[in-house]
Structure 1
Amino acid sequence: MASAIIQADKYILLRLPSTNTKLLVLKDHSTVNLGKFGVFHADDIIGKPYGHTYEICADKKLKIVRKHQLTYSVDEVNNNQATIDDTARQTLTMDDIEALKTGDLQGRQIIDTVIQGHMAYDEKTEFSKHKYVKRKEEKFLRTFTPLKPTSWNIAQHFFEKDMAKILELKVETLSFILTAANIRPGGKYLVVDDAAGLITTAILERLGGSGTVLSLHDNEHPNFDIIKYLDFREDTLTRLLYNLDFLEAFYPNERSSLEATGDPATMKSRQREAYYRKQRAYTRLSECRHIYDEQNFDALIIATSFDPICLLSRLTPQVSGSRVIVVYSPHKETLIHTSHWMQAQHTILAPTVSEIRARKFQAILGRIHPEMMATSGGGYVLTGIRVLPVDSVVAKGKVDFKGKALRKSKATKDLNGEKRKIEMNEYVGGEPDSKKLKVDTTADQI
């Protein structure tokens, strides 16, 4: 995994005052342009730990800053009912503010000047002052915070920038998928991931260097674009991550021609390189096929735009008993249709469709309330437990059991003060006769 220290030629996330994030690669002796938030030298943060907040000075130098906090009493009972807050009560014009931004003043000094020019600022409650200052910080501060690329941070970044790329997968839903599938170090997992490799990346991160992930994909090469952002070591990926396309997995005999043939001793250098490259590819393919054919995966995770039923019908036998099958889709109707298919099978127990929603809250000292605006969606998750029924269940379509003989008994039931006789067949043991399974009731008892 990526080091705890910022390194050159590695991906990094920068959180800006606007709460947006910028994903980039730091280069030695280069400058980083953050638009209106300023420009700084990359060498000033290379070799430093993640998490510090830096302010960009006028000479492109950086200094570490602490988060500004307002102090106020939580017992305040005033309100903004009589406060008139409009642009006319700001003595500074837009030209004045632009002049402040292009001058020698730093972000905090600009904010203080804007506050002094606001005639209604003192009329605000302390809570309103806190929110007002926060808005000005997002607008005028020239700060940033380097963040370590993790599956959590990357998922949040792409959900805000390009949610279609990750199939609208929210970070809360991603966490639920990992928990439902019981992802743990040393596990063996079968994955179909069309979310640019986000789910595969999160699984590899949680494995902690021990385990196996076999990814199935529809193209010649898998789309694992997000994996590169977490800076896994190449030998770690080779040891943990395997992949097969659907043709290799479902029709293995049609790929036997991939095996390298000939005598490399008689080949030219270029032919010999091609021979060894093809031989390595075939060896790797054989390893992937062996892992797939073992049929002892600890979980099956599917996130794809294809019909999940087509994949489940082929991949369910690869999963061990009492293991979890997880299917993600941005559309609820797709999973409801899939859950109906699961219920008709004898190999998947208790299919359940879940929607994960984690509402954001505005939290300041002494007061908390949910944010009024939030992004809808985030996807749906279908979970089920893989079971291994006995042959008789598959053949007869029912559960077979044994016990003592069937006897008929009578019971009475007091309903609305009136005793009514119900004749029923009751099992007290013995091997049942399915033809005698009935409950005799009268019309007035229904």
Structure 2
Amino acid sequence: MKNTSIITPNQHALIRLPSEGMKVVELKPDQIINLGKFGSFKVNEILGYSYGQAFEILDDYMVRPIKSLMEDQVQPMENESTQEEEGQFTRKDIATILSESSENNQFIIDVGSQIQKLSSDDIDKLKNSGVSSDVGQQIIDKIIEGHAGFDKKTLFSQQKYLKRKQAKFFRRFSVDYLGGSQLLEYFLEKDNQRVFDMTTESLGLLFSYANVKPGGKYLLIDETGGVILYALMERMNGEGSIVSIHENEHPNHILLRNSDYTDEMIDRMVKPINWLQFVETNAEKINWKDEPEDVIENMKATRKAQYYRQKKRAQDINHVIDLVSEGNFDAFISVSKLHMPSVLPYILPKVGGSRPIAIYSEYKERLLETQHFLSVDRRILAPSIYESKVRHYQTIPGRMHPVMSSRGLDGYVLTGTRVYPKQEGITAVGRGISKKRRAQDETEKS
């Protein structure tokens, strides 16, 4: 079982950088991981720490643990007293400048060389003087010292300016556990089309309405390459079964390689089936007959291995077909671009009574058509569309300000409850029912 709290060798992890970039890596012992301009480090240096720990890159691929990615924890420079004698800014001076802020930004003339005395060549020289964040902090100190309009900025603008420079020059990183939501977050930034612009909030909304829990039996359509499947397995805590419907000969679950789940666990929980097998269960079932033991013993090694592979494949296909034939799934979950009104007539009979369906789409219009279909079909009670929106804020002590630019798409979730409508013997009860009964009684008496 993989470790979810301690940084462990031979597991995948999510590296977070000061620039808010992310990188998925496999932590192989003795390996050196390259983080581009932020430097490189040895994997052995971070093993044994808790997930979420931040590190600073030092010389010779070494690291040291630090409190956070952005906080200035560098010790005072040895030549700080010399700088005071030469009339240069020290870190105390910079702290004083931060406290001397303007009420607004109207006096700032933000035109490159007119307000910044430090040239790009000077910055390159400082970069080449070392590899630790000491150098990054020195660069930031020099930039602030050479910025003619820094004290004319508001305190909020100064904090934002410092954060941008720290993200650019600090050689730090943190290591997070790579769960399903973290993998989704990574692909949302790297390749948002792969996950259909789904956010972690929308993922939580989808699983909440699907009532996902350990030990359940779920019907899934996942076209993200396995991101949703990984998150579903994680939420089920390794208990239960998932029938994954796909369009091709083999399912595309390539991103499960980042889950670090064993092949035995994946085979036990995930049961892939293509659409032809799902729709034509009787026709696609394999009529397998075992060969006699003496025949198997006389087979060549390659032929025997092929025989056992074919036998296992037949058993797996027949098992998943039996699961589909039994039906009574605890929920149906879909994250795909399939036309749901064409798919649901085959799906709904397999979902158990009083069980939910949850369908995600990045476009509301797709779900509106599906909602209308379900309203007419009557096998789904109260089909409704929900949306999850999260507004991010930037803060300093005593003040909050919303982030002005954010994502426009967070996706939508259509959900409803599977019911069995009664076809006959339904009597509508309303205000006129008592009058009608009295009229019938009077007719019978007369």
TM-score under structure 1 length normalisation: 0.84
| Matched position secondary structure for 2:108 | coil
Name the structure, 1 or 2, with higher relative contact order (CA <8 Å, separation 6+): 2
Superposed counterparts of 1:20-59, under 5 Å: 20-59=21-60
Q: Is the 8 A contact 1:402 1:429 kept in 2?
A: no
Superposed counterparts of 1:32-431, under 5 Å: 32-67=33-68, 68-69=70-71, 78-87=103-112, 88-104=114-130, 105-257=134-286, 259=288, 261-267=290-296, 268=299, 269-392=301-424, 400-401=426-427, 426-428=432-434
Tell me, in whole angstroms, the C-alpha distance in 2 between the residues paired with 1:110 and 1:330: 43
Q: Is the 8 A contact 1:302 1:308 kept in 2?
A: no
| Matched position secondary structure for 1:309 | helix
- State the partner residue of 1:418: none
Pair 311,124 (structure 1): closer, same or farther in 2 beyond 3 Å: same
Residues 300-343 of structure 1: CA distance to partner in whole angstroms, max 9, x if unpaired? Answer: 11122221112211010111112111111222222111111111
Structure richer in strand, relative to its length? 1
Pair 120,255 (structure 1): closer, same or farther in 2 beyond 3 Å: same
Q: Is the 8 A contact 1:8 1:27 kept in 2?
A: yes
Tell me, in whole angstroms, the C-alpha distance in 2 between the residues paired with 1:258 and 1:135: 65
Given residue 183 of structure 2, which amino acid in structure 1 is its aligned partner?
Answer: I
Q: Is the 8 A contact 1:301 1:327 kept in 2?
A: yes
| Matched position secondary structure for 1:59 | helix
Pair 178,430 (structure 1): closer, same or farther in 2 beyond 3 Å: farther
| Matched position secondary structure for 1:384 | strand
Tell me, in whole angstroms, the C-alpha distance in 2 between the residues paired with 1:52 and 1:345: 52
Q: Is the 8 A contact 2:17 2:172 kept in 1?
A: yes
Q: CA deviation at 1:159?
A: 0.7
Q: CA deviation at 1:81?
A: 2.8
Q: CA deviation at 1:427?
A: 2.0
Q: Is the 8 A contact 2:286 2:318 kept in 1?
A: no
* Percentage of identical aligned residues: 34
Tell me, in whole angstroms, the C-alpha distance in 2 between the residues paired with 1:197 and 1:304: 12
| Aligned length in residues | 407
Q: CA deviation at 1:298?
A: 1.3
Pair 40,177 (structure 1): closer, same or farther in 2 beyond 3 Å: same
Q: Is the 8 A contact 2:285 2:321 kept in 1?
A: no
Tell me, in whole angstroms, the C-alpha distance in 2 between the residues paired with 1:99 and 1:77: 32
Given residue 173 of structure 1, which amino acid in structure 2 is its aligned partner?
Answer: S
Tell me, in whole angstroms, the C-alpha distance in 2 between the residues paired with 1:382 and 1:173: 11
Q: Is the 8 A contact 1:258 1:278 kept in 2?
A: no
Given residue 2 of structure 1, which amino acid in structure 2 is its aligned partner?
Answer: K
Moved more, 19-28 or 62-71: 62-71
TM-score under structure 2 length normalisation: 0.84
- State the partner residue of 1:422: none
Pair 430,290 (structure 1): closer, same or farther in 2 beyond 3 Å: farther
Pair 17,310 (structure 1): closer, same or farther in 2 beyond 3 Å: same
Tell me, in whole angstroms, the C-alpha distance in 1 between the residues paired with 2:437 and 2:123: 89
